[in-house]
Amino acid sequence: MTQNNLQELKEVWDQRDDETKQLFYFNYGDLPYLLDVKVDKNLFRALTQYWNLAYSCFTFGKVDLVPTVEECTILLCFPRI
């Protein structure tokens, strides 16, 4: 997603009223918080090389690792989730 599309998405979200946002949170959880996450592109590129689509985990050699929610929030530097 380009920066312009992300900005447009943030603007659309900001235009929603509180009732609509609460309904969205109820149905989809904290997904909108991801709009505020600053992603380290180099880290993301490095991690994607080890992501195993078949098992939805990271594979390093013969070791499969599944990050916990806590580990994901640390990697994303986003403690609100």
* pLDDT of residue 1 exceeding 60: no
DSSP for 23-66, written as a single string: HHHHHHTTGGGGGGPPP-HHHHHHHHTTEETTTTEEEETTEEE-
The domain in which residue 12 lies consists of 1-30
> Given this model, what pLDDT does residue 41 score?
85
* C-alpha distances in Å from residue 35, one per residue of 13, 38, 39, 63: 9, 8, 10, 32
Confidence (pTM):
0.48
> Given this model, what pLDDT does residue 2 score?
56
- Our count of domains for the chain comes to 2
> Given this model, what pLDDT does residue 21 score?
93
Residues 59, 21 share a domain: no
* pLDDT of residue 3 exceeding 70: no
Residues 42, 16 share a domain: no
The answer to whether 52 and 60 are in contact (CB under 8 A) is no
Residues 44, 76 share a domain: yes
Residues 67, 41 share a domain: yes
Residues 78, 62 share a domain: yes
Residues 50, 26 share a domain: no
Residues 41, 26 share a domain: no
Identify any residues that bridge with 60 across adjacent strands, giving them in sequence order.
63
**Structure confidence by residue, pLDDT tens digits, 4-63:** 788 899 999 999 999 999 999 888 888 888 888 887 889 888 888 998 888 888 898 888
| Nearest C-alpha neighbor of 80 from the set 36, 19, 28 | 36
